Structure 1
Amino acid sequence: MAQSLQGKVAVVTGAASGIGLATTRALLEAGVQVVMVDYNQDALSQLTTELGANAIAQHTNLLDADSCATMVPEILQKVDHIDILHCNAGSYIGGDLTETDTATIDRMLNLNVNAVMKNVRDVIPHMQERKTGDIIVTASVAGHMPIQWEPVYSGSKWAITCFVQTMRRQLNKHGIRVAQVSPGPVVSALLADWPEENLRKAKENGALLDPEEVSDAVIYMLSRPRTVTIRDMIVLPTNFDI
């Protein structure tokens, strides 16, 4: 039976677009106050004005060590507590490994892996003190199987799958649920690096998800009774052939 999320406080990273924005909207509809974390300050300002008083802007550059380190303390100056952390921000690299420069690899691994680990680390003491909380990470189906046309991205998501499942075991005794949602390809800016032929075929064949289909899964996971953890939800477009 679904539990109400009314009155909870959530933090969503990468909240200004894609899955992050869809999840923000879904949480707001469920009566949750949402701190929207993003590096795009103009987009945050516009969206929080549009979405109303329960949407709070937090300008953070997760690729900047100092900005990333001050994210949770700054948020806790704006809200009383954090019930939910959705680590959603990420980037994508497709193609052969030799086609990608090392600076781009560093950037993606820092965002997809390091920033997630740091955000989770920083929120744990707060949640442990309250003896409750939910941490959900946007992973990927690419974290469950080696996908040959995206070795760097797939590698980052395998790392996150391992991290999430180890943290789930560390934190469940503290009343903190840790889980991941693992979508297939989603209509978003992240697919800009997909091989054009793969993207065209996916669009034609109905093999892409809308962000709202992923946010639906996140709401389902969060609204389960505290005695239940949805460890990982893989959400695929029906015609995604992999």
Structure 2
Amino acid sequence: MAEELAGKVAAVTGAGSGIGRASAQAMLAAGARVVLVDRDEAATNAIREQYGENAIPLTIDLLDPQDCATLLPKILEAAGGLDIFHANAGSYIGGDLVDADNAAIDRMISLNVSTVMKNVHDVLPHMIEQGAGDILVTSSVAGHYPVPWESVYSASKWAITSFVQTVRRQANKHGVRVGSVSPGPVNSALLADWPEENLRKAVESGSIMEPAEIAEALMFMLTRPRNVTVRDVVILPTNFDI
């Protein structure tokens, strides 16, 4: 992947850990300057220390509407442009609906759906004006299959699947590619909320991927010729039973 993204400016939300961190690291390794958007300042500063000035920490709380609205201006101020936007930040609720907390539902829908829509809404005009860009969204296999123990989470990701496919059709005539990556279980902080029995079975069967494997799929999407759009990649552990 060396230098395939040289000269590009990318921004990744939820860049402090998991898929977001792996995505940012892959783009940095490919020569991009990457704005690391996360509310965890220590996590993004650690990436900066590892990769140097091409890694640009940006502390934003995306669940704060006023802070969220500053995303694009702060990216442009920090990096001078934006070619690639990876909307990755998200949260998870598993288990039976009757056991879910209403406040947690509100938070997850806000982060997984509303925030993604607002972020894409805000960065898209900039990319349309420059006549090129890539927008990638972290979705989930749960956005394609009704996972029985993920009723709320699945609903949020089905919404994002629809959003990505409609915006893709609106943006492609402007030279902006829009696509999503839809992983199965990934070894990240989100799995802490998995039902314990399901997590145990997944670990025992080897049905969990590493974030770097998702980042490889994202890099494949980004490095296709401009006349090719990979609209959605569903990536699963081979042993995952869905």
Question: Distance between the aligned counterparts of 2:26 and 2:70, measured in 1?
Answer: 26
1:16 corresponds in structure 2 to 16
Q: Distance in 1 between matches of 2:56 and 2:239?
A: 37
Aligned to 1:119: 119
Corresponding position of 2:4: 4
**Distance in 2, Cα, partners of 1:219 & 1:124:** 20
Aligned residue number for residue 64 of structure 1 = 64
Determine whether 1:34 maps to 2:34. Answer: yes
- Counterpart CA distance in 2 for 1:50 and 1:57 is 12
Deviation, structure 1 residue 124: 1.1
What's the counterpart of residue 198 of structure 1? 198
Q: Distance in 1 between matches of 2:146 and 2:135?
A: 25
Q: Secondary structure at the match of 1:53?
A: helix
2:167 is aligned to: 167
Aligned to 2:81: 81
Equivalent position amino acid for 2:50 in 1: E
Q: Which moved more, 1:137-146 or 1:41-50?
A: 41-50
Q: Give the CA RMSD over aligned residues.
A: 1.2
% of aligned pairs identical? Answer: 61
* Counterpart Cα distance in 2 of 1:133 and 1:126: 9
Residue 135 of structure 2 corresponds to: 135
Give the match for residue 109 of structure 1. 109
- Does the residue aligned with 1:145 lie in a helix, a strand or coil? coil
Q: Shift of residue 125 of structure 1?
A: 1.2
TM-score (norm 1): 0.98
Counterpart of 2:55, as a letter, is A
How far, CA to CA, are the matches of 1:217 and 1:43 in structure 2? 23
Distance across 1 between alignment mates of 2:134 and 2:219? 11
Q: How far apart are the structure 2 equivalents of 1:45 and 1:9?
A: 18
Number of residue pairs aligned between Structure 1 and Structure 2:
241
Residues in 1 aligned to 2:211 and 2:178: alpha-carbon distance in whole angstroms: 21
CA distance in 2, matches of 1:59, 1:193: 25
Per the alignment, residue 155 of structure 1 pairs with 155
Whole-Å Cα distance in 2 between the matches of residues 237 and 18 of structure 1? Answer: 16
Question: Counterpart of 1:214 in structure 2: which amino acid?
Answer: I
Per-residue CA deviations over 1:158-210 (Å, capped at 9, x if unaligned) read: 00000000000000000000000000000011011111111111011010010
Equivalent in the alignment of 2:209 = 209
- The SS at the match of 1:78 is helix
Q: Distance in 1 between matches of 2:67 and 2:49?
A: 23
Offset of residue 154 of structure 1 = 0.3
* Unpaired runs of at least 5, structure 1: none
**AA matched with 2:151:** P
1 CA distance for matches of 2:51 and 2:151? 37
Give the Å deviation of 1:78: 1.0
CA distance in 1 between counterparts of 2:240 and 2:25 reads 26
SS at match of 2:240: coil
Runs of 4+ in 1 over 2 A off after TM superposition: none
Distance in 2 separating the partners of 1:124 and 1:26: 23
Looking at structure 1, the residues matched to 85 and 96 of structure 2 have their Cα atoms a distance apart, in angstroms, of: 33
In structure 2, distance between residues paired with 1:239 and 1:43 = 32
Match of residue 239 from structure 2: 239
Q: How far apart in 2 are the matches of 1:98 and 1:51?
A: 45
Q: What's the TM-score, normalizing by structure 2?
A: 0.98
Q: Which runs of 5+ in 2 are unaligned?
A: none
